[in-house]
Structure 1
């Protein structure tokens, strides 16, 4: 049986950790982010995208929205337009709610999650 190749997508920030911290600190952030996620999931379904099919090094990364976003960027002009206009604003809002230490931690975690494990 041939082993599947790892996903070529490289993360720079752990979106999951950043969202978790925002949810813990600002209850209302869910009201902004969750409808956008639902829209992304709907668009992914429409385009036949399954983020869970990506083979990842870290089990916590399985099904991450980064994979869905990457495929949507490639397949959907509508998503590209929305992400260009809404995505940047939501990311800026999210980042403004976090400390520099949290932002640095999310970058560190993503970098480590992307490293190949040598045994």
Structure 2
């Protein structure tokens, strides 16, 4: 689905900035922080936009070491984050009986960093 359709679907006004930010998130293979977006906006506008996207569950936010990372909401989210290189990887969402879990964050050392450390 393209950015304009997503904005319409979630009843969010269409602006050039919102389209550009969503385009980047749709193309991203991993969650992105403010500094990683090519589309430059002032911080206040960026964070207000991401907050608006979060309210309608279009985007999910992952807090890691005091920094927010954003990605398109794919429903329940399970994510591995490497403590060394900070790369992320989607994981299969675990089944946890009798609990309504929306997200899981697993932190550790990825294979590449583990191999480089030995």
TM-score for both structures, normalised by structure 1: 0.30
More contact order relative to length (CA 8 Å, sep ≥ 6) = 1
TM-score for both structures, normalised by structure 2: 0.30
